[in-house]
Structure 1
Amino acid sequence: MLEIKYVFNCMELWGSFFAIVASIYLFIGKSAIQDQYKSLGRLELLAGIMLFFDSWAWYFDAVPGALNHSILLVSNYVSFICNALIPVLLAEYVILSVDEEKRSKRVIIIVSVIAVCAVLFLAFSQISGFVYTINPETNEYKRGLGFVIWTVLVLLEANVVFVYTFLKKESMDKKRFGAIVSFIVIPIIATAIQLFVYGISLSNIAIILVALVMFAQALEDNAKMIVEQRERISNQEKQLQDLRTRIAISQIKPHFLYNALNSIYVLCDKDTDKAKEMVNSLSEYLRANIASIDADKPIPFEKELEHTKVYLEIEKARFKDRFKVAYDIQVSDFEIPALTVQPIVENAVKHGLCKRNYGAPGTVTIATKEDDGFVKVIISDNGTGFDLDEYNSRVRSEGEHIGLMNVKKRLEIMENARMEIASSIGQGTTVEIFIPR
């Protein structure tokens, strides 16, 4: 008849193999819950190590021999240590399973302190055999009087984690909560039974089962998160395409086209060469605006600057000597979202310079320079300026300065890109765009 210890030995070896393979998968597998995957991987790895050494302890139990005795000493000691450390890693996994703003690391500190006490208690009892003994002649494992104390310490760790999990159940996924509770409660029940039943490793068998449950739940959770991410990315792409279309269309304003065409009409009789230049500039302007609809990635700054110059040529033909343009381009080897500079320049010309009622023509300046990990694009004018507080109160309704809001939205395509506005009534406006290197 097959001895019961060999049944447990085989079960624990297979459980160890599964747990270690699961941990490897969690460490190297791509996931949407990377921190949680790695935390569970550490937990599964420790469980696998514990099951592996405990299987050796079962296999060599009551098998005489000096080498076997050494194996039993090491196997039992490592298995007990792992038992004390598993609740610590479980606490880490629970913390990462809670919504970020509701997390508290206090529980892992408490559990770690109890675990240290348990490990020290086990270490000091090795000489006296207070927790367990291994007969050097027969290699038979036997519990000591301190086994109950040891078990109580480990159960205390598990109960602390259980209380924290229960208190935070509203801040974690319901299925995750169920899997974690099963990892705590089932081994606790098995350990409690094991206190009164000798010769059956119920707690470790329970850990095999709940480790499988935890792994399966993490896979399901990750698959769900990946699906949600794909849906979110798909929605973002649709929103971005819609945004690009709306911004491109908004830049082709009817009154601008009417005024440009009217200027061309007048020039046809007075200066046909100038009229041809303006027709060419207008066609280039419209082509660049329409092309921006499909520009899902940032474009070279030089291309955006060229589009801005085309716009300015049209406006200069219309407004004659109403404004001047200055350039201070110190750096140009970077990319920027399409229709970023031109709308700001248009805003400066239309709402700043062309509303001046005093003195010489105003000036719009386009400049770029390096600035501590960023390229700074600066568009400034000495026009009429505006009240920033009033502007901030009007942007939600997409009022007079919609062009600036559109630029801000386009900059959101690039990580860490931003725009800052400074303006004073009667003095002008400065818009700074920060593009990360």
Structure 2
Amino acid sequence: MNEKLNRTDFLILGVYFLVSFIIQGKNYIERDALFREYLIDFPIEIISVTSVIFLFTFWLIPKVVAQKKYVLFIVYGLLILIVIPGIDYTIGFWTGANDWSKFPKGIDFVLQTISLGTQQSAFPFALFLTKKFYEGQNDYLKIEKQQKENELKLLRSQIDPHFLFNNLNTLDALIDSDTNKAKEYINRLSLIYRYLIKTKDAEVMELAEEIQLAENYMFLIKTRFENDYDFKIEKPTSINDKFVPTGALQTLLENVVKHNKPRNGNAIKTIISIDENMLIVSNTKSNLKPENESFGTGLENLKMRYKFLSDKIVKIENTDTMFKISIPIINLVNEN
């Protein structure tokens, strides 16, 4: 529950008191009330009701109920409903020029003040508490959304630290052996980093742009490992208006290289296929463990991002000869 007062809190109470006093004023006129009743009773009731509401809302509920001290809550609640409305009732008894011999005493006074307190405060307290509850829910949803955005940004920032190092080593070798290819390599590498910078805060990206990133990344892999890896992209359906998590394809291609080394001159074959609802990356397996064994953090990262972005899940098929991962295509129109 939102424990801060704002302008609309006073507005909702102000509207309530205005309507209440119009109704009470009509009753005062009908019974020809004394002028001091108008002058004193209304301000005292405002003080009494707002005091009860604020004590329950900002002290009793957050401090006592939150600590599950329910007996203490009942005791303090009854004391509030006896003392504050009791003062209001006593002043009202005086302003109405009533006979003090008829003033309730003992248990009658306690019951009278509790009844007065609940009658005066029940409806405005319900309005006020409902308003604060929904404000608190909205604040919670905003915080939850911001937390998800922060976690997504953190996940997006977790790029393989060896990526730049390995590519610089490859570039160094190309400069001496093949200048033209080195220039192309630099161009492709710069396009990748330009894309990463441009999309650093983007949660999802158009599939067409992700395909372009994948093509540039595959060029780097082919240049670095020559014929060790073979890539093919199949696009039997339109890729317009389709989205995937930013950098998802790069993550999947990184996974292929990390976990598979060619054996006996047989290249690792990777096919990227796209249908209406899924993007599928399947590759042959070498059954040779890489020198630097990975713990699958890239795929776990991608799965976590899907939990934030969609109710769809990543599907993995892993056999002795084939590894296949299917990631859902995000349709922003339908998702929202």
Q: Which TM-score applies when normalising by structure 1?
A: 0.46
Instruction: Note the residue ranges of structure 1 that are not aligned, 5 or more in a row.
Output: 1-16, 22-50, 52-58, 60-168, 183-202, 388-397
SS of match in other structure, 1:293: coil
Q: What is the match of residue 171 of structure 2?
A: 264
CA 1:282–1:228: 2 relative to 1, 3 Å: same
CA 1:258–1:221: 2 relative to 1, 3 Å: closer
Question: Structure 2: how far apart are the matches of 1:266 and 1:237?
Answer: 40
Q: Does 1:337 align with 2:231?
A: no
> Contact (CA 8 Å) 2:244, 2:328: kept in 1 or not?
no
Q: What is the match of residue 271 of structure 2?
A: 365
Q: How does 1:29-428 map to 2 (within 5 A)?
A: 209-245=121-157, 247=158, 250-251=159-160, 253-254=161-162, 256-295=163-202, 297-329=203-235, 330-333=237-240, 334-352=242-260, 355-358=261-264, 360-370=266-276, 375-384=277-286, 399-425=294-320, 427-428=321-322
> Contact (CA 8 Å) 1:364, 1:380: kept in 2 or not?
yes
Q: For each residue in 1:384-432, what CA deviation from the matched residue of structure 2 results, as whole angstroms up to 9, or x when unmatched? A: 3699xxxxxxxxxx9531111121222234222321111123x021001
> Contact (CA 8 Å) 1:282, 1:314: kept in 2 or not?
yes
Letter in 1 for 2:247: L
Residue 377 of structure 1, CA deviation: 0.6
Question: Structure 1: how far apart are the matches of 2:119 and 2:128?
Answer: 14
Residue 311 of structure 1, CA deviation: 0.7
Residue 362 of structure 1, CA deviation: 2.4
Q: What is the match of residue 83 of structure 1?
A: none
Residue 332 of structure 1, CA deviation: 0.9
CA 1:405–1:434: 2 relative to 1, 3 Å: same
Question: Structure 2: how far apart are the matches of 1:428 and 1:376?
Answer: 18
Q: For each residue in 1:283-339, what CA deviation from the matched residue of structure 2 results, as whole angstroms up to 9, or x when unmatched? A: 1122223333222x3111111111111111011011111121111122312111211
Higher relative contact order (CA 8 A, sep 6+): 2
> Contact (CA 8 Å) 2:244, 2:330: kept in 1 or not?
no
Question: Structure 1: how far apart are the matches of 2:325 and 2:272?
Answer: 10
> Contact (CA 8 Å) 1:412, 1:418: kept in 2 or not?
yes
Q: For each residue in 1:30-79, what CA deviation from the matched residue of structure 2 results, as whole angstroms up to 9, or x when unmatched? A: xxxxxxxxxxxxxxxxxxxxx9xxxxxxx9xxxxxxxxxxxxxxxxxxxx
Question: Structure 2: how far apart are the matches of 1:306 and 1:204?
Answer: 73
Q: What is the match of residue 329 of structure 2?
A: 435
Question: Structure 2: how far apart are the matches of 1:386 and 1:318?
Answer: 19
SS of match in other structure, 1:236: helix
> How many pairs are equivalent?
237
> Contact (CA 8 Å) 2:273, 2:279: kept in 1 or not?
yes
Q: What is the match of residue 198 of structure 1?
A: none
Q: For each residue in 1:58-102, what CA deviation from the matched residue of structure 2 results, as whole angstroms up to 9, or x when unmatched? A: x9xxxxxxxxxxxxxxxxxxxxxxxxxxxxxxxxxxxxxxxxxxx
> Contact (CA 8 Å) 2:148, 2:308: kept in 1 or not?
no
> Contact (CA 8 Å) 1:326, 1:365: kept in 2 or not?
yes
Moved over 4 A (4+): 203-209
Question: Structure 2: how far apart are the matches of 1:239 and 1:231?
Answer: 12
Instruction: Note the residue ranges of structure 2 that are not aligned, 5 or more in a row.
Output: 1-14, 24-29, 31-64, 79-114, 332-336
> Contact (CA 8 Å) 1:340, 1:410: kept in 2 or not?
no
SS of match in other structure, 1:384: coil
Q: Which TM-score applies when normalising by structure 2?
A: 0.58
Letter in 2 for 1:292: T
Residue 269 of structure 1, CA deviation: 3.0
Letter in 2 for 1:317: T
What is the RMSD of the two structures over their aligned residues, measured on CA atoms? 4.0
